[in-house]
A and B are shown apart, each in its own frame.
Chain A
Amino acid sequence: MKGFMSVYRKELYVLFASPIFYVVALTFLIIAGYFFYNTVAFYNLLSFQASQNPMMAEQLNLEQTVLRPFFLNLGIVLLLLSPLMTMRLYAEERKTGTLELVFTFPIADRSALLAKFAAVVTALALILIGTLPGILVLHSFSGLNWKLVLCGYSGIFLLGSSFMSLGIFTSSLTQNQIIAAVLSFGALLMFWVIGWTKPLVAPTMAALIEYLSITQHLDNFAKGVLDSRDILYYLLFVTFFLFLTLRQLESHRWKG
């Protein structure tokens, strides 16, 4: 893993030196804030109705009404924005030729790739931390179950990391950042909506599709269910696409 830290530091520096990160972070936080406000306002309305209806008040649940849709919404915003964070990673290095430097430094491709991935995941974590103030405000009003919050955040972090790994892969395919972004957006959207065909196919196929669907796994986290199958899904997803990226880089080397 020699050279990992220096590439990691360089990647973070390049990331924070470019305006893309700030624009993405700002857009993400504004949209996330809007969704958060809406779910809270909706909860407000429900509790108002519940004050006149004791039956309804029993069923009212802050975590399920606010947090669960909030985390699912974060997923959608990430789907839109994460391709913009990853499109640069290899495409730009290919375009400017700096990949030749990295390829001829005594660093294994694997270390450089992991460093890039770690840097972009760090940026993701920073952006997610940006959504915490809303949660804290909510907590100050009604007290939240922090285990659920943590579970939801782990889910969204794992989801985001998966998006990043796929984004890195598409970025390694081309030297055009826009193509990289479009490809990763398209692929991610496909993983997002693949569950929709479930009712239309044979049962075995349906089970497979359900497992592949990226939203299905997020929903478990969002409602506070920590299942090793979901964790495994995201870890496999990340490993698979990082592995593909390595293979792609190797093939790029051979083609020259």
Chain B
Amino acid sequence: MIEAEGLTKFYGSLPAIRDVSFRVDTGEVVGFLGPNGAGKTTAIRILTCYMPPTAGVAKIDGIDCFERSLQVRGKVGYLPENNPLYGELTVQRLLRFAAGAKGVDGKRIKNEVNRVTDICGLDKVSGRIIGHLSKGFKQRVGLAQALLNTPPVLILDEPTIGLDPTQVVEIRKLIRELREQHTILLSSHILPEVAQICQRVLIINKGQIIATDTPANLTSQLQKSAQISIQVRGGLERLTSALEAHDGVQKVTLCDRGRGGLLVETDRSRDLRPEIARIVLEQGLDLLELKLVDLSLEDIFMQLVTEEAAQEGVQP
């Protein structure tokens, strides 16, 4: 549904993105992840036909974003970064304008506006002036505007930025409800968000895609060791040395002396949990807790970004 091939954009002599290629299939929800300034917005602006790329081809539904821009724009609902809206209009009027601009027939405009007002929970504020609304409501107006005329593709640039935690949860819920009808590409620099909503993640850094996979696969690929966290009551020092002596254990770190917490790093090839439990019991200690720790997306992200930096450091 969304195809990018070799997208490159220069601002003057400064490259914002270099040779970015990816595709999003129909019905997928894909997260575009990267630190601020990585080039997420630039890539998104090319896909939404806001600006043409310096090189490369972007296509939505097989139609070239540059050659047949108007046609593509009719297929994309877009929530731009920082959600710009006409502050002096009422919610109703803005949505009517947007519906008209998106080519909804005069007769259908009212129904269409009512539909997105319902979806986004804007009924109570539809007569209010946008400039006076809270940020959460503004964000919903931005989303409502993107949903007008049911575009097959939704592109959301940082949909939850600047919202308070409850509003963030609400917007995420809304996006999750939308995935049945739309192919969604959303950008974010908040990792748990992407992990929660998206089926696939594209990680971009310094204008280049450095990884793309499901959140789960990314985790397993990058996790070089399995980490097991245990909590025991009793002599930690003795246990530490016993564990370190065991075959397959790479490293044992004390993480919470007061509560008796240890973090054991082991080979990924086999599951050492039963053996660790046995060792604890053999030492005559009480085992309170034992669990496998997954790398969070944050760790993966940091790992990828820092690995990149390290590689660059090696090259002359």
Chain A residues close to B by CB (< 8 Å) = 2-3, 5-7, 9-10, 13-14, 17-18, 96-108, 253-256
Contacts and interface: CB of A to CB of B under 8 A. Distances in A.
Interface in B95-110: 96-103
A5 B100 contact: yes
B50 interface: yes
Contacts of A7: 97, 101
Given A5-B100, A105-B73, A253 B52 contact: yes
B37 interface: no
Interface of B: 9, 11, 42, 45, 48-52, 70-71, 73-74, 76, 78, 80, 82, 84-89, 93, 96-103, 145
Contacts of A9: 97, 100
Which 8 A-B residue pairings sit nearest by Cβ, starting from the closest?
A: A6-B100, A97-B84, A106-B74, A106-B73, A10-B97, A105-B101, A256-B51, A98-B84
A6 B101 contact: yes
Contacts of A100: 45, 50, 80, 84
B296 to A, nearest CB: 33
B80 A105 contact: no
A96 B73 contact: no
15 contacts: A3-B101, A3-B102, A3-B103, A10-B93, A96-B87, A97-B82, A100-B45, A103-B49, A104-B48, A104-B78, A105-B98, A254-B51, A255-B11, A256-B45, A256-B51
Contacts of A104: 48-50, 73, 76, 78, 80
A10 B89 contact: yes
A116 to B, nearest CB: 13
B223 to A, nearest CB: 38
Contacts of A98: 84-86
Among B78, B89, B97, max chain A CB count under 10 A is at: B97
A253 B74 contact: no
B13 to A, nearest CB: 13
A86 to B, nearest CB: 17
Among A3, A5, A18, max chain B CB count under 10 A is at: A3
Nearest to A253: B51
Given A104-B80, A106-B103, 4 more contacts: A5-B100, A6-B96, A96-B86, A101-B98
Contacts of B50: 100, 103-104, 253, 256
Nearest to B109: A6
Contacts of A106: 70-71, 73-74, 101-103
A104 B50 CA distance: 6
Contact of A96 (B48, B49, B84, B96): B84
B80 A13 contact: no
B86 A10 contact: yes
Given A6-B100, A255-B11, A256-B9, A14 B89 contact: yes
Contacts of B49: 103-104
B74 to A, nearest CB: 4
B53 to A, nearest CB: 10
Contacts of A102: 101
Nearest to B148: A105
Contacts of A101: 78, 80, 84-85, 98, 145
A14 B88 contact: yes
Contacts of B98: 101, 105
Contacts of A2: 103
A252 B162 CA distance: 28
Contacts of A256: 9, 11, 42, 45, 50-51
Given A97-B82, A100-B84, A13 B11 contact: no
A18 B87 CA distance: 11
Contacts of B96: 6
Contacts of B74: 106
Contacts of B99: 6
Contacts of B71: 106
A23 to B, nearest CB: 16
A97 B70 contact: no
Nearest to A14: B88
A15 B48 CA distance: 28
Contacts of B82: 97
Contacts of B80: 97, 100-101, 104
A104 B154 CA distance: 12
Nearest to A115: B101
A14 B145 CA distance: 18
Given A3-B103, A253-B51, A255-B11, A17 B89 contact: yes
Nearest to B142: A101
Contacts of A97: 80, 82, 84
B66 to A, nearest CB: 11
A101 to B, nearest CB: 6
A18 B102 contact: no
B225 to A, nearest CB: 43
